[in-house]
Amino acid sequence: MLHPSSMFAGRDPFALMRRMGGEFDRALPGPAAAQGYPAVNIWQGSEAVAVTAELPGVAPDEIDISVKDTLLTIAGRRTAPEAGSEAVWHRRERAFGTFSRSVRLPFRVDPDKVEARVEHGVLRIVAYRRSEDMPRRIDVKPA
């Protein structure tokens, strides 16, 4: 990272540090560019992985979730509101139609242990690791 030398000439020697801290704050949890729709956040736990996605206006029965090995797919459809033929649209920022997004999970999950629910337009999927893939603790025996 290059900083112009004039930054050091200021009275506050901590300004650079604060500024750098701000940059790190943005670099770490800041959103990455979405690789498709919907954008996802991935949460990791020791025995499970959670995937959240914002799907406002999508009915729960219009969401189709499938999982195969480490590939999780969220597909669905958002139905456009009925407005009548003579209605005039002043603004159309929302997207409608079908979508499909696949996410590679950090481990193989048990397809029978995938939970999904929608709350206030936010989808949350929790997928558990296969029991045979769980890390095992190995005891070290004294010789």
Partner 1 sequence: MTDVATAARSGQPEAAQGAESARGVRIYRPLTDIVEAADGVTIMLEMPGVAPGDVEIELEQRVLTIRGRAAVPAPESFKLAYAEYGEGDYERAFTLSEEFDQANIAAEMHGGVLTVKLPRAEAAKPRRIAVTAG
Decide if residue 56 touches partner 1 (CB under 8 A): yes
Residue 4 near partner 1 by CB under 8 A: no
DSSP notation for 65-86: EEEETTEEEEEEEEPPPP--TT
Least Cα distance to 49 among 108, 122, 128 occurs for 128
Compare residues 82 and 139 and give the one whose CB is closer to partner 1: 82
Please choose, out of 2-10, 24-32, 69-77, 131-139, the segment that lies near partner 1 by the rule CB under 8 A: 24-32
What CA–CA distance (Å, rounded) separates 35 from 50? 18
Q: How far apart are CA 61 and CA 82, in angstroms?
A: 19
* Residue 120 found at the interface with partner 1 (CB under 8 A): yes
Place of tokens 């033929």: 85
What is the distance, to the nearest Å, from the Cα of residue 21 to the centroid of all Cα atoms in its chain? Answer: 24
Q: What is the nearest approach in angstroms of partner 1 to the Cβ of residue 45?
A: 5
Minimum distance of partner 1 from residue 113's CB (angstroms): 15
Which spans of this chain sit near partner 1 (rule: CB under 8 A)? 29-35, 39-46, 48-50, 52, 54-59, 81, 83-84, 86-94, 106, 118-122, 124, 126
